[in-house]
Amino acid sequence: MREFVYVSEGKLRQFLPKPSRLTRPGAIRLNTPLGGLDVEPGTPGTEHGRLQHLERVDKHLNSHADWFAEPGLRPGGWLWFEAPLRCVTLRGEYQHLVLFVDPVPGEDPAYERETGCRLLMHGSTRHLLGCAPATIEGPSLEGIDGGSSIGTTFLTAAGHVVRALSLEHEAAAASVPPPRPDVSGAGVRHLVTALDARHEQAGSAALMQGYARVTAVLPPSGGAQRLVVASPLTVEYAYNQS
């Protein structure tokens, strides 16, 4: 039995059925970002129809998505992951933004050896399924400009990243085209460092797996590992089958 933590309805809707004269009678052609896929028609408005659609998309991505630790990932592409993850939100204005973050350096040496990179995923709390994220104190997102305009509030580098990711998911929730998040390397690194420093507040990481769309890939820098930033389609517990 599969136990989902997160399912993005918006991303599922990106895989839209489109009739084609090349398909057999009664079939539907799914035109996806990764190519076409023939499926049987269903009733997508029902719970059963949504589950069928999820299963078809899951099967399709299983054949096409890249492992998140593979080189050559590009923004907009699809990846699959299996990693120990913590599910957190930040106190304050951005509580609707959920973050999935992997273990801090040195916490899980076997995971680090296997992947050689970090994974940070961002989504909306409205897509969580029965999972209560830990609410933690994140990095300082605002400050005071001490230059010529004293008293003017401004966002820090991490604040710009959090706001960009937050606006992306707010737009998706409103069913409008989401903006391409402006994710700066310094801001993302600052955010991850702050999350790592507070990992004990978030409890133990749980082994999870799923699919996500790549937002950005940051190369190794200053002793920090390569960092993959992505927005999940699905996140589920990865139970040991042995």
pLDDT at 35 over 60: no
Q: pTM of the prediction? A: 0.82
Using pLDDT thresholds of 50, 70 and 90, give the confidence band for residue 20.
low
E strands, the chain, where?
A: 4-7, 16-18, 28-32, 35-39, 66-67, 78-90, 97-101, 117-124, 134-136, 142-145, 152-155, 206-218, 226-237
pLDDT at 34 over 60: no
Tokens matching residue 117: 């990179």
Average pLDDT over residues 35-59: 69
In this prediction, residue 155 carries a pLDDT of 86
In this prediction, residue 121 carries a pLDDT of 98
d(CA 162, CA 192): 11
Average pLDDT over residues 157-170: 89
Average pLDDT over residues 161-182: 76
pLDDT in tens, 118-150: 999 999 999 999 889 999 988 888 876 655 555
